[in-house]
């Protein structure tokens, strides 16, 4: 990966020799649709200077999605999400067969039992979320370097397990700060969620300490508020759209009788996983763009 010290020079760190020697080719050119900056103060990037260019941002999103779609990173994210699907199918199948035998009352009792067990297993679901966040690192490497060495999704998860503890602490603190803010008339919680939203990314991708990640997240959000606004906006739009779709789907499954107990968790998982995947891609695209604007790295061109 490139770093801020390499901007403006060749990769070996030597000064150009001049004369008849042609300039060396820089493999770290911008992705299709925009010109990546070559130094922190370069304003050629279409999203520099707080330029609210939605079209340029969606070009970056498209590039990110294309690079991740066939990668082991996205397979690992979906594979981890499948754990909740397996649990939902187990509960749904038990309720469905109970409904055939004992009616909806019996299915409701089984549903309450699985709900209680789900509460006990909630830490497992939190662990899945943390493991998904550790995959920010290989996703970022794919964006900035163009490739990753590990091809197996399982090996990819194992290789990044060392990030799980600091990420878990970061996400816990983010939840606590946001939750306390929500109790203080809601608005402080929203402000905290926005200002500190980059903390998990910085811990996973940039090896920033937990406390420093919150500080840098606030500074980066204030400096590049337009990109954070677009990241949040895309996630909100997708969340609203999927809620509407799953809501309509739930209405339809209501006419399926006992089969609804099996169809509902599938529908819910598809909606939730879609939101997770989009959020993952938007996070890498948006916060990676901030890395570029900060002069930390440059996305390679295909």
188 in Cβ contact with 224 (< 8 Å): no
208 in Cβ contact with 202 (< 8 Å): yes
Helices (H), the chain: 54-69, 72-120, 122-134, 136-145, 153-159, 164-183, 187-195, 199-206, 210-223, 225-253, 260-293
22-33 pLDDT, tens per residue? 444 444 444 444
Angle at 39 between CA 37 and CA 44, to 5 degrees: 35
Q: Is 8 left (phi over 0), alpha (psi -120 to 50) or beta?
A: left
- pLDDT attached to residue 43: 66
- pLDDT attached to residue 182: 92
Residues of the chain with pLDDT under 50: 1-39, 41-42
Question: Which sign, positive or negative, has the C-alpha torsion 97, 101, 103, 106?
Answer: negative
Instruction: In whole angstroms, give the CA distance from residue 57 to residue 286.
Output: 8
- pLDDT attached to residue 184: 87
Question: Which sign, positive or negative, has the C-alpha torsion 72, 161, 148, 62?
Answer: positive
Q: Which value, to the nearest 10 degrees, does the dihedral of the CA atoms of residues 196, 198, 201, 205 take?
A: -110
Q: Model pTM greater than 0.85?
A: no
């Amino acid at each position: 990966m490139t770093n801020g010290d390499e901007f403006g020079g060749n990769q070996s760190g030597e000064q150009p020799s001049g004369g008849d020697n042609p300039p060396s080719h820089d493999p770290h050119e911008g992705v299709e649709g925009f010109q990546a900056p070559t130094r922190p103060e370069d304003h050629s990037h279409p999203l520099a200077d707080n330029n609210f260019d939605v079209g340029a941002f969606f070009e970056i999103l498209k590039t990110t999605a294309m690079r991740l779609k066939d990668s082991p990173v996205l397979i690992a994210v979906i594979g981890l999400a499948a754990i909740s699907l397996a649990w939902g199918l187990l509960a749904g199948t038990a309720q469905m067969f109970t409904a055939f035998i004992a009616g909806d009352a019996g299915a409701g009792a089984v549903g309450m039992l699985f709900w209680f067990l789900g509460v006990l297993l909630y830490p497992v679901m939190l662990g899945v979320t943390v493991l998904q966040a550790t995959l920010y690192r290989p996703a970022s490497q794919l964006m900035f370097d163009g490739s990753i060495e590990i091809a197996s999704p399982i090996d990819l998860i194992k290789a990044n397990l060392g990030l799980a503890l600091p990420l878990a602490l970061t996400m816990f603190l983010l939840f606590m700060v946001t939750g306390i803010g929500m109790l203080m008339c809601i608005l402080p919680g929203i402000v905290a969620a926005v200002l500190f939203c980059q903390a998990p990314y910085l811990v996973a991708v940039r090896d920033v300490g937990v406390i420093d990640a919150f500080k840098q997240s606030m500074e980066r959000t204030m400096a590049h508020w337009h990109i954070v606004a677009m990241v949040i906006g895309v996630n909100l739009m997708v969340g609203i759209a999927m809620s509407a779709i799953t809501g309509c789907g739930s209405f339809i499954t209501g006419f399926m009788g006992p089969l609804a107990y099996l169809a509902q968790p599938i529908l819910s998982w598809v909606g939730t996983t879609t939101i997770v995947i989009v959020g993952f891609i938007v996070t890498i695209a948006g916060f990676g763009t901030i890395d570029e604007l900060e002069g930390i790295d440059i996305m390679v061109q295909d």
